[in-house]
Amino acid sequence: MSLKDQITEDMKTAMRAKEVARLGAIRLLLAAIKQREVDERIVVDDAGVIATVEKMIKQRKDSIAQFEKAGRDDLVAIEASEMAILQAYLPAQLSDEEVAAAVAAAVSSTGAAGPQDMGKVIGVLKPQLAGKADMGKVSALVKAALAQ
């Protein structure tokens, strides 16, 4: 069963259980997936679904930061609960040690010597770690590894 089919089944389950918050978050996700399919005229595969989920989680993180600045704790709670629901559709996250090992391996395999080679290293890591690690943290680790 594809990830998109699993999300659709979860939506049906949430409808039956009358879980309003979960249903809303899943409907937003399915709408974003459908929008991408229509815009790009493709059928989204699991990698595309994961990319959409990651994008939505990033949006939630940004919203939470803004709402916290404004003192809107009610909206922070809503965004945090939606983010938790969305994170269930991501693959298991790698530990910091596993990410650091992957960064070290990519730096050595590409022969990167300085900050100017960051694009090469990220190009190797992105397909390996997409959905499994926060790419912002990966980027910071690569930058630190190349600065040495």
Domains of the chain: 3-87 (1.10.1510.10), 96-147 (1.10.10.410)
Can you give the pLDDT at residue 141?
87
Give the residue among 145, 94, 95 at the shortest CA–CA distance from 115.
145
Residue for token digits 């930061």? 65
Q: Is the pTM of this model over 0.95?
A: no
CB neighbour class for 81 (10 Å; exposed up to 12, middle 13-18, buried from 19): middle
* Mean pLDDT of the region 62-81: 95
Helix or strand run (H / E) with residue 8:
helix 3-17
**pLDDT attached to residue 101:** 87
Rounded distance between C-alpha atoms, residue 17 and residue 24, angstroms: 13
Rounded to an integer, what distance in angstroms lies between the CA atom of residue 52 and that of residue 34? Answer: 10
Q: pLDDT at position 73, please?
A: 94
The pair of structure tokens assigned to 110 is 């590409």
